[in-house]
Structure 1
Amino acid sequence: MVNEAVRQLIERSNRLGADPRNTNYAGGNTSAKGTEIDPVTGEPVELCWVKGSGGDLGTLKPEGLAVLRLDRMRALVDVYPGIDREDEMVAAFDYCLHGKGGAAPSIDTAMHGLVDAAHVDHLHPDSGIAIATAADGEALTAQIFGDKVVWVPWRRPGFQLGLDIAAIKEANPAAIGTILGGHGITAWGDTSEEAEANSLWIIKTAEDHIAAHGKADPFGGVRAGFEALPEAERKAKAAALAPTLRAIASQDRPMVGHFTDADVVLEFLASEKAPALAELGTSCPDHFLRTKVKPMLLDLPADASVEDTIARLETLHEEYRADYAGYYERNATPDSPAIRGADPLIILIPGVGMFSYGANKQTARVAGEFYVNAINVMRGAEALSTYAPIDEAEKFRIEYWALEEAKLQRMPKPKPLATRIALVTGAASGIGKAIAARFAAEGACVAIADLDLAKAQAAAAEIGGPDVAIGLQCDVTSAEQVQAAVDATVLAFGGLDIVVNNAGLSLSKSLLETTEADWDLQHDVMAKGSFLVSRAAAKVLIEQKLGGDILYISSKNSVFAGPNNIAYSATKADQAHQVRLLAAELGEHGVKVNGINPDGVVRGSGIFAGGWGAKRAAVYGVAEEDLGKYYAQRTLLKREVLPENIANAAFVLCTSDLSHTTGLHVPVDAGVAAAFLR
């Protein structure tokens, strides 16, 4: 049975976290105090439930709470060794845990346990941080809130900040919360409802004051030539730039990307103050831990050519890396963690939009959302005053904090295909869907391309949703649709690493029954289609400078001569030779090209369901429902081949275990001696 205080805390947290105006994803924390019976003594014990490290308020569940004994937390005050050693207090929280303790306590735990209130909220609202980062934030706090909200000068999160806020609440009985300089807000209440109401009142009051008293143009006027391009033009330019931008963001380690051309971004990039404000960087720790201390901003107008833009971006990247290295060297101490990489995580392109990067799609998307938060913060601060984030030394202390490093070291080992982005054609069913599902399960982002958009989107939703998979409509016989699918993939995930030419069909006819239209259709879909997909993808792979994989789902029929399928087998032989040709041509770019030769994949197959199965069954004189069993019995292993078996081979070919393998054809046919490669 869930404790009533816990139930109220979860419901309040979920409501607050569901609205991005209140706090960013995984940002802030909430708590509740109450009693439970200690199973050892049988007596009531005072507890504090607080959101654990790394959790998200909007999706918080009871198991995401750290559970601590209040008497032991309060006793820590007597052994606190001072601010120079306050990091030791995080480990001390482990000795305050009740029972199994729940989630790991966060650095903000002291703020909740030491403040004398039953319910405490610490949030990162844009409006609150705008006041917190204004040059005259302390005066604004008094002006806007009176004695109900107290200003707290910037202090890094930790035990001392908890002591400071506890003292402020005790000294200011009329106060319902604080503005934390450079950071966010904290509010409290005797009940969960009161704490939530106080948090929302601070946020809304700040919003209303900015709206009523702020300048109409906080970012200044519009820079001529930096206005947003028309939608189709900016999307096309974004797709053209995406491979180069991913190469820039991935020099130190591969990254997944996210693109947005939201109005708030485009308006900021067109403004006079954008260059100066971007240079100042973000302020809230949650923001710059995701976005780096500042973005990389292109200084060319919106109508600059793609070629000129790429040339300038490469120069800016060198300057950004040197600047970040300087930031590290200026602030690092002998015991600082090693530099984690000097590439930008936020790249701003005037007239086009923002690219953000991370170790996976969700992280990349959230980084972009955080920079939108930062834009909103800068707008609010500039509307009332001057934006004045915390200085770089303080940013460095948090970015390279030993506790932050420890959190990074605790992260699970990446999956084999983490950071890799795949485009699979004909992937709404059968072999293609199985490959897409296996890739996603192994950490890849996947674009599922198919003639049937509804089925492609349904398959993507089944595999994992937009942070994992997207569904695209694509007729591979159309160069325009193929390019559109590649563009959509790089805009969704930032780039492209793996291409699977799987789209296909077959018509089972003898030579005399095969029409010219039959021949052209099969060659257009499989031979020409594979060529078009590989050509469009190779351009991205080369520009990214990250290597990559191109796979062809060919067939046993590419090397085996059987009756009544001349068009199908001939086009499969074409695909098989494309593997060899492209392996020879693309190897210098680190791109591996390999093929898979399946046979007899009946279950789940769109080709077999479309009439091919019935015709092949008739050729072999068996019932259609027994065709899979028939194919199995003619193999050396006597095993039916399933779509998942082909997916297994596709996965292995794309892993580091076969990093030195290209030009290979892997038979997945349970053993057909006549199709052995010679």
Structure 2
Amino acid sequence: MAELLERCHRLGSDPRNTNYAGGNASCKATGIDPVTGESVELLWVKGSGGDLGTLTEDGLAVLRLDRLRALTKVYRGVEYEDEMFAAFDYCLHGKGGAAPSIDTAMHGLVDAVHVDHLHPDSGIAFATAADGERLTKECFGSRVLWVPWRRPGFQLGLDIAKVKREHPEAIGVILGGHGITAWGDTSEECEANSLEIIGTCQEYIDRHGRPEPFGAVITEYQPLPEAERHARAAALLPIVRGLVSTDRPQVGHYTDSDVVLDFLASEKHPALAALGTSCPDHFLRTKVRPLVLDLPPTAPLDDVVRRLKELHAAYREEYRAYYERYADETSPPMRGADPAIVLVPGVGMFSFGKDKQTARVAGEFYVNAINVMRGAEAISTYQPIDEREKFRIEYWSLEEAKLRRMPKPKPLATRVAFVTGAGSGIGKAIAERLASEGACVVVADVKAEAAVEVAAGIGSTDVAVPVTVDVSDEEQVRAALEQAVLAFGGVDLVVNNAGLSISKPLLETTAEDWDVQHDVMARGSFLVSKAAARILIDQGMGGDIIYICSKNGVVAGPNNIAYGAAKADQAHQVRLLAAELGGYGIRVNGINPDAVVRGSGIFASGWGAERAKVYGVPEEKLGEYYAQRTLLKKEVLPSHVAAAVVALTAGDLSLTTGLHIPVDSGVAAAFLR
């Protein structure tokens, strides 16, 4: 088993060998029956939904080989594949480990100690070539055999086992429309055979392939310069995200790799894209085919938006017709008619999913599909499996069952949050809490290192990304929100938290003190809300803008003129924007914290010392002092403010806008009237 995991990690870490969560590997060895104490032959195989590159022991399914192979005696044919998959549960050893995948039969029935099943681009190029069988024979002779397309399952396992039995000299097979399978008596031999098939396929393509497999370059579809390309992508992504979220909200991912841009600049790309992908792993992630814009990147933006809306409406009609052509009384309900992949010549690819990882992986799979099409067109003609077979995979009851086993999404799943001042204190707590509730988070702060540290602490770039921004600078705000759009496809939830305070009496407060606080809080909130509102309106998905205001915007305190006035400005922005943006489904609310001392960037920057001096208490006792003057006698923490943000945005207060929530442990003078 240790050898198996090491092999999986090596194979799965190289995208030339297989895609994310694609393929599987196995080994056979003896174990002890926990009941009889007798030795039994077992199969360890990657379980359903796992990823080879990161596989652990917990991700392996463990089955009794004698029971698995005995299923051949009760197999009733391809019409009964589903009952064979259900029978795997009766073959499990002990607790069985992970849930077995549909490819388990392939590994158990093939008479080899070690088996790999992979989805390499070069191998699938052979598998999807119109004359793939001839090419396989020409390239490998009898060392690697051809197995015609067969939906994954028990019969495919029988087919491969028969090839292995009848051709002892063979090291593996190419599976029509699908991928490759290799085997060996040792883990090293199996891995070497897998790599030989992958490398030999690629060498054949490199040696015999035509130089321009996608045809001539379309001059007007050439990529825009990078800065223009990203600006056009940022302008289009929120609109496209809103369109593809017609059935359910989606998170987006943007790719402008050379592979994508070169494909979209070629004359064959419309016809090839229309054929769709072939490998089951590919089109389960990317849908049956992408939506392809048929305008050059220099077309006026309004024309592009209008055309995208027309193409989206047509895509939905065509997808519904596809479903209705092949669905029967046993088919699961249609899961949604929106595309997962949108291709924009000269700009790149937008991919979408229920979270950032799903969206990113969908894009990676379509890059795999482009590589497959290039290889197949280089040595033959790309010919994926037919549409009916694609439907049988996409709406397979076993696939539906796997989807139903997935955990319930978190309250803020699919939502993209942009939090200013998130490098410390309240903003950090808000960013962390929103991410824990399922949101993708853009950690925005004027201090680059702080933003990077907080984002890294939250998780990978699939969950949080840092941006550096001075919210008082309009161009920086625009650029920061553009980064948010390019990272996650749009923005849904904006938290205006950036702030600072300079505590001085009126006569000591300078015009500079006044300006810097109003620039960050009053002007900064205005600029962020304005730039974000454009995105929210383009998306057409509603959204939330939250202002972290203050008790000081309601209650007059000593030596606090500039800060209190700036907070009062923010408080009224909430009311004004709630009234203006409600027609777009955008809710605007405020939170009025007080005395959030612990972890606060404002208090740590000198404000705490000033307020402690005003109230005549030691600075380290300031939080306790504030708590004792409240009705509840409890200290207010950043986490309490973060909880209020979640309460306003996670769905329970869906019809609330224009509200200010006090988070102050009870300050009677700040009660809103």
Partners of 2:521 and 2:567 within 8 A in 1 = yes
Structure 1 residue 39: Cα displacement: 2.3
Alignment deviations for residues 527-551 of structure 1 (CA, whole Å, 9 cap, x no partner): 0000000000001111111100000
Q: Which residue of 1 aligns with 2:101?
A: 106
Map 1:205-244 to 2 at 5 A. 205-244=200-239
Q: Which residue of 2 aligns with 1:58?
A: 53
Structure 1 residue 86: Cα displacement: 1.4
For 2:669 and 2:206, locate their aligned partners in 1 and report how far apart those are by CA, in whole Å. 77
For 1:465 and 1:525, locate their aligned partners in 2 and report how far apart those are by CA, in whole Å. 29
Q: Which residue of 2 aligns with 1:10?
A: 5
SS of aligned partner of 1:389: coil
SS of aligned partner of 2:587: strand
Structure 1 residue 609: Cα displacement: 0.6
Alignment deviations for residues 123-150 of structure 1 (CA, whole Å, 9 cap, x no partner): 0000000000000000000011111100
Alignment deviations for residues 301-334 of structure 1 (CA, whole Å, 9 cap, x no partner): 1211211110110000011111111111111112
- Of 91, 94, 100 in structure 2, the residue corresponding to residue 96 of structure 1 is 91
Q: In the alignment, is residue 568 of structure 1 matched against residue 563 of structure 2?
A: yes
Q: Which residue of 1 aligns with 2:172?
A: 177
Greater Cα shift, 304-313 or 251-260: 304-313
Alignment deviations for residues 203-232 of structure 1 (CA, whole Å, 9 cap, x no partner): 000111101110110000101200000000
Q: Which residue of 2 aligns with 1:247?
A: 242
SS of aligned partner of 1:340: coil
Structure 1 residue 52: Cα displacement: 0.3
Q: Which residue of 2 aligns with 1:75?
A: 70
Q: Which residue of 1 aligns with 2:443?
A: 448
For 1:308 and 1:510, locate their aligned partners in 2 and report how far apart those are by CA, in whole Å. 57
For 1:396 and 1:449, locate their aligned partners in 2 and report how far apart those are by CA, in whole Å. 43
Q: In the alignment, is residue 161 of structure 1 matched against residue 156 of structure 2?
A: yes
For 2:449 and 2:206, locate their aligned partners in 1 and report how far apart those are by CA, in whole Å. 43
Partners of 2:425 and 2:601 within 8 A in 1 = yes
Q: In the alignment, is residue 128 of structure 1 matched against residue 120 of structure 2?
A: no
Q: Which residue of 2 aligns with 1:620?
A: 615
Q: In the alignment, is residue 604 of structure 1 matched against residue 599 of structure 2?
A: yes
- Of 665, 668, 673 in structure 2, the residue corresponding to residue 673 of structure 1 is 668
SS of aligned partner of 1:248: helix
Map 1:543-562 to 2 at 5 A. 543-562=538-557
Q: In the alignment, is residue 199 of structure 1 matched against residue 194 of structure 2?
A: yes
Alignment deviations for residues 48-107 of structure 1 (CA, whole Å, 9 cap, x no partner): 000000000000001100000011011000001111111110110000000000000110
Q: TM-score, normalised by structure 1?
A: 0.99
For 1:242 and 1:71, locate their aligned partners in 2 and report how far apart those are by CA, in whole Å. 53
For 2:155 and 2:597, locate their aligned partners in 1 and report how far apart those are by CA, in whole Å. 66
For 1:32 and 1:595, locate their aligned partners in 2 and report how far apart those are by CA, in whole Å. 58
- Of 39, 45, 48 in structure 2, the residue corresponding to residue 44 of structure 1 is 39
- Of 473, 478, 485 in structure 2, the residue corresponding to residue 490 of structure 1 is 485
Q: Which residue of 1 aligns with 2:357?
A: 362
Q: Which amino acid aligns with 2:434?
A: F
Q: Which amino acid aligns with 2:507?
A: L
Q: Which residue of 2 aligns with 1:3?
A: none
Partners of 2:349 and 2:363 within 8 A in 1 = yes
Structure 1 residue 605: Cα displacement: 0.6
Q: Which residue of 1 aligns with 2:311?
A: 316
Q: Which residue of 2 aligns with 1:20?
A: 15
Q: In the alignment, is residue 188 of structure 1 matched against residue 195 of structure 2?
A: no
For 2:280 and 2:156, locate their aligned partners in 1 and report how far apart those are by CA, in whole Å. 14
For 2:460 and 2:90, locate their aligned partners in 1 and report how far apart those are by CA, in whole Å. 40
- Of 285, 297, 308 in structure 2, the residue corresponding to residue 290 of structure 1 is 285
Structure 1 residue 393: Cα displacement: 0.2
Q: Which residue of 2 aligns with 1:430?
A: 425
Q: Which amino acid aligns with 2:120?
A: P
Q: In the alignment, is residue 382 of structure 1 matched against residue 339 of structure 2?
A: no
For 1:106 and 1:253, locate their aligned partners in 2 and report how far apart those are by CA, in whole Å. 28
Q: TM-score, normalised by structure 2?
A: 1.00
- Of 272, 277, 280 in structure 2, the residue corresponding to residue 277 of structure 1 is 272
Q: Which amino acid aligns with 1:426?
A: G
For 1:363 and 1:495, locate their aligned partners in 2 and report how far apart those are by CA, in whole Å. 16
Partners of 2:34 and 2:94 within 8 A in 1 = no
SS of aligned partner of 1:87: helix
For 1:397 and 1:17, locate their aligned partners in 2 and report how far apart those are by CA, in whole Å. 27
- Of 443, 461, 473 in structure 2, the residue corresponding to residue 466 of structure 1 is 461
Partners of 2:421 and 2:499 within 8 A in 1 = yes
Alignment deviations for residues 529-574 of structure 1 (CA, whole Å, 9 cap, x no partner): 0000000000111111110000000000010010001000001000
For 2:111 and 2:257, locate their aligned partners in 1 and report how far apart those are by CA, in whole Å. 42
Number of equivalent positions: 673
Structure 1 residue 41: Cα displacement: 1.4
- Of 320, 323, 341 in structure 2, the residue corresponding to residue 346 of structure 1 is 341
Structure 1 residue 352: Cα displacement: 0.3
Q: Which residue of 1 aligns with 2:145?
A: 150
Q: Which amino acid aligns with 1:96?
A: C
For 1:670 and 1:128, locate their aligned partners in 2 and report how far apart those are by CA, in whole Å. 64
For 1:325 and 1:27, locate their aligned partners in 2 and report how far apart those are by CA, in whole Å. 28
Structure 1 residue 42: Cα displacement: 1.6
For 1:369 and 1:375, locate their aligned partners in 2 and report how far apart those are by CA, in whole Å. 10
SS of aligned partner of 1:600: coil
Alignment deviations for residues 272-327 of structure 1 (CA, whole Å, 9 cap, x no partner): 00000000000000000000010000000121121111011000001111111111
Structure 1 residue 255: Cα displacement: 0.1
SS of aligned partner of 1:186: strand
SS of aligned partner of 1:86: helix
For 2:450 and 2:591, locate their aligned partners in 1 and report how far apart those are by CA, in whole Å. 24
SS of aligned partner of 2:507: coil
- Of all paired residues, the percent bearing the same amino acid is 72
Q: Which residue of 2 aligns with 1:402?
A: 397
Q: Which residue of 2 aligns with 1:372?
A: 367
For 1:478 and 1:86, locate their aligned partners in 2 and report how far apart those are by CA, in whole Å. 62
For 2:596 and 2:313, locate their aligned partners in 1 and report how far apart those are by CA, in whole Å. 51
Q: In the alignment, is residue 631 of structure 1 matched against residue 607 of structure 2?
A: no
SS of aligned partner of 1:448: strand
For 2:243 and 2:394, locate their aligned partners in 1 and report how far apart those are by CA, in whole Å. 21
For 2:516 and 2:78, locate their aligned partners in 1 and report how far apart those are by CA, in whole Å. 74
The answer for unaligned runs of 5 or more in structure 1 is 1-5
Greater Cα shift, 31-40 or 18-27: 31-40
Runs ≥4 residues deviating over 4 A: none
SS of aligned partner of 1:658: coil
Q: Which residue of 2 aligns with 1:542?
A: 537
Q: Which residue of 1 aligns with 2:261?
A: 266
For 1:598 and 1:246, locate their aligned partners in 2 and report how far apart those are by CA, in whole Å. 34
For 1:305 and 1:459, locate their aligned partners in 2 and report how far apart those are by CA, in whole Å. 39
Q: In the alignment, is residue 587 of structure 1 matched against residue 579 of structure 2?
A: no
For 1:73 and 1:375, locate their aligned partners in 2 and report how far apart those are by CA, in whole Å. 37
For 1:85 and 1:240, locate their aligned partners in 2 and report how far apart those are by CA, in whole Å. 50
RMSD, matched Cα: 0.5
Structure 1 residue 36: Cα displacement: 1.0
Structure 1 residue 414: Cα displacement: 0.3
Structure 1 residue 454: Cα displacement: 1.5
Q: Which residue of 2 aligns with 1:516?
A: 511
Structure 1 residue 252: Cα displacement: 0.5
For 1:350 and 1:248, locate their aligned partners in 2 and report how far apart those are by CA, in whole Å. 18
Alignment deviations for residues 424-473 of structure 1 (CA, whole Å, 9 cap, x no partner): 00001100000000000000000000001111011100001200000000
